[in-house]
Structure 1
Amino acid sequence: MDAFAEGSPCWADATLPDLRAGERFYGQLFGWTFTEGGAGTDTGPGFPRHSRALLDGRPVAALVAKQDGRMPTAWGVHLATPDLAGTVEKIRRAGGTVLTEPEAASGAGRKAVAADPDGAVFALWQGGTRRGFGATDVPGAFCWTEVYVRNADAADAFYPAVFGYELADPPFDAGDFKAWALPGSGREVAGRALVGDMLPAEMPPHFLVYFRVGDVGDALGTVRRGGGRVLVDRQEIPGATFAVVADNQGAAFAVMDGESGEADEPGDAGGAAAADTPATSADGT
């Protein structure tokens, strides 16, 4: 059995113009250490220059060097699949766009990049020697993701058609928001929100990646000291506080404190928090 069920977030990465500046920022914020990879190193072909982020020695994210100035400076997410070719065909049939065809990333796995009908970009990952996160839902690690779209009906048809998600309402008032539960298990791994509900309406459709922290207020102080910005100040939901920030190069992400599933084993994160690979480039596994 794969460590990550189909449709589960299994990796996150940031595409940045300056890897060293990113290492300083995230090292201070999350306590990450880094090991560098890229073409011509032991990661092999299929990988751009990148730094893998480690939390207590376990892989939790990657910082990927921008190869083209037109690439966005952004965080992205990978969704797991046991059958990359089959999932790519489902994306096409459901009205999505395949941006990069399936290809091997050395022996680590196989990847593709796609966009939903609204244009939100995500990556697919079929794990080989690298399954994905080595830790989730603990301070310094990924804990949740949600896609922000303008057309809720299109998204609510597309993602269940591709990944089999069951749509669920949160147990509190969250506007027009739907959680994605894995079929048959009820385990929520991600969600769908509307652009304009929390983030500015002019923002393009995109995935927002959340990281667990011990205290959001402390994290915001570290973000500002590191040259980042607070985009959405502290928001309260039952059992947790979160905020949306940008790093010192403009890549947006969210931090969340409060209740944690303590899911420090791969593929075990659940509840309001899900889950070696990038989402926009799919190469930093």
Structure 2
Amino acid sequence: MTEAATRHKPGTPCWVSLMVHGLPATQDFYGALFNWDFHPGPRQLGPYVRAMLDGKEVAGLGQLPPDHHLPVAWTTYLATDDADATAETIRHCGGTVGVGPLDAAEAGRLAIGSDPGGAVFGVWQAAAHLGIATAGAPGTPVWNELVTRETTAVGKFYQAVFGYESTPAASSDADRSTLCLDGRAVASLHGVGAALPRDRGAHWMTYFEVADTDEAARRVAELGGQVLEQPREARTGRLATVADPEGAVFTIVRSAR
């Protein structure tokens, strides 16, 4: 298991969180799939728990208010040293801020925004809670990719807000690019054109490491989820796109070593 950095550089994906309608059932699903256990999170966020793996924080799960009928989806949080300044930059660069900035008790300060293409993401200014505390083992978030209509304009947005360098994919027939900080790849953009799902629109996709992609996909189905794209080989490893019982989509991957 590789220990994550204690404090994430601004722009680095530092946390993933999921808001659902049935928190206990969702805990059961992910606990069985990823071997997570759960500790209470900040009370200001309503019913909220932190998913733990071997005593290290890896993700958050929360309960939506009964009158909220929002799509259930994993949210990628990007690190910042100043959530208020980042929120202002998001607005200035053509994005929107729908929540915050607001304090999450002593844990930190957050905002939820969306890019010009409509993809929702979070901003996290760490205080007591630094974000994902471990990486590399099965059950940990391993990658984040923005799935959008086209990458050129939205890529400029993320570069302006977070200071990324963008590297286009080597293949000329794919609208893909990698976002880097100080020469290190931290996330990717994938333009899919008309193939963008109508029911989801542009979105950030969370990849979770697994020991065996095929077995994990079978386990998703056994636990009441769905396998949306069967296990397949990719440059980054063997992966499958799946959804939990409430419909939150994520990718499981056995990374190439």
Alpha-carbon contact 1:149-1:205 (below 8 Å) kept? yes
Residue 211 of structure 2 is aligned to residue 217 of structure 1? no
Structure 2 distance, partners of 1:97, 1:116, is 7
Cα deviation digits, residues 55-77 of structure 1 (max 9, x gap)? 00111011110114322211111
RMSD across aligned positions (CA):
2.0
Tell me which protein shows more helix as a share of its residues: 2
Unaligned segments of structure 1, at least 5 residues? 38-42, 261-285
Structure-2 residue corresponding to 1:148: 147
Structure-1 residue corresponding to 2:55: 57
Query: Structure 1 residue 36: deviation in Å?
Result: 3.1
- Compared with structure 1, are the counterparts of its residues 32 and 199 closer, same or farther at alpha carbon in structure 2 (3 Å cutoff)? farther
Structure 2 residue matching 1:71: 3-state secondary structure: coil
Which is further off, 146-155 or 136-145?
A: 146-155
Query: Structure 1 residue 204: deviation in Å?
Result: 0.9
Structure 2 residue matching 1:132: 3-state secondary structure: coil
Query: Structure 1 residue 198: deviation in Å?
Result: 7.0
Query: Structure 1 residue 148: deviation in Å?
Result: 1.4
Residue 12 of structure 2 is aligned to residue 15 of structure 1? no
Cα deviation digits, residues 226-278 of structure 1 (max 9, x gap)? 01101122232225111110001111111110336xxxxxxxxxxxxxxxxxx
Query: Structure 1 residue 154: deviation in Å?
Result: 1.8
- Compared with structure 1, are the counterparts of its residues 202 and 27 closer, same or farther at alpha carbon in structure 2 (3 Å cutoff)? closer
- Compared with structure 1, are the counterparts of its residues 160 and 52 closer, same or farther at alpha carbon in structure 2 (3 Å cutoff)? same
- Compared with structure 1, are the counterparts of its residues 140 and 128 closer, same or farther at alpha carbon in structure 2 (3 Å cutoff)? same
Which residue identity does 2:55 align to in structure 1?
G
Structure 2 distance, partners of 1:85, 1:65, is 25
Structure 1 distance, partners of 2:235, 2:27, is 32
- Compared with structure 1, are the counterparts of its residues 229 and 127 closer, same or farther at alpha carbon in structure 2 (3 Å cutoff)? same
Structure-2 residue corresponding to 1:228: 225
Unaligned segments of structure 2, at least 5 residues? none
Structure-2 residue corresponding to 1:242: 239
Identity of aligned residues (%): 38
- Compared with structure 1, are the counterparts of its residues 149 and 239 closer, same or farther at alpha carbon in structure 2 (3 Å cutoff)? closer
Which residue identity does 1:23 align to in structure 2?
Q
Structure-1 residue corresponding to 2:10: 6
Which of 22, 26, 33 is matched with 1:29 structurally? 33
Tell me which protein shows more strand as a share of its residues: 2
Which is further off, 67-76 or 188-197?
A: 188-197
Structure having greater relative contact order (Cα 8 Å, sep ≥ 6)? 1
Structure 2 distance, partners of 1:137, 1:171, is 26
Which residue identity does 2:13 align to in structure 1?
P
Residue 76 of structure 2 is aligned to residue 48 of structure 1? no
- Compared with structure 1, are the counterparts of its residues 239 and 197 closer, same or farther at alpha carbon in structure 2 (3 Å cutoff)? farther
Structure 1 distance, partners of 2:214, 2:172, is 23
Structure-2 residue corresponding to 1:258: 255
Instruction: State how many pairs are aligned.
Output: 252
Instruction: State the TM-score, normalizing by the size of structure 1.
Output: 0.83
Structure 2 distance, partners of 1:103, 1:239, is 36
Structure-2 residue corresponding to 1:40: none
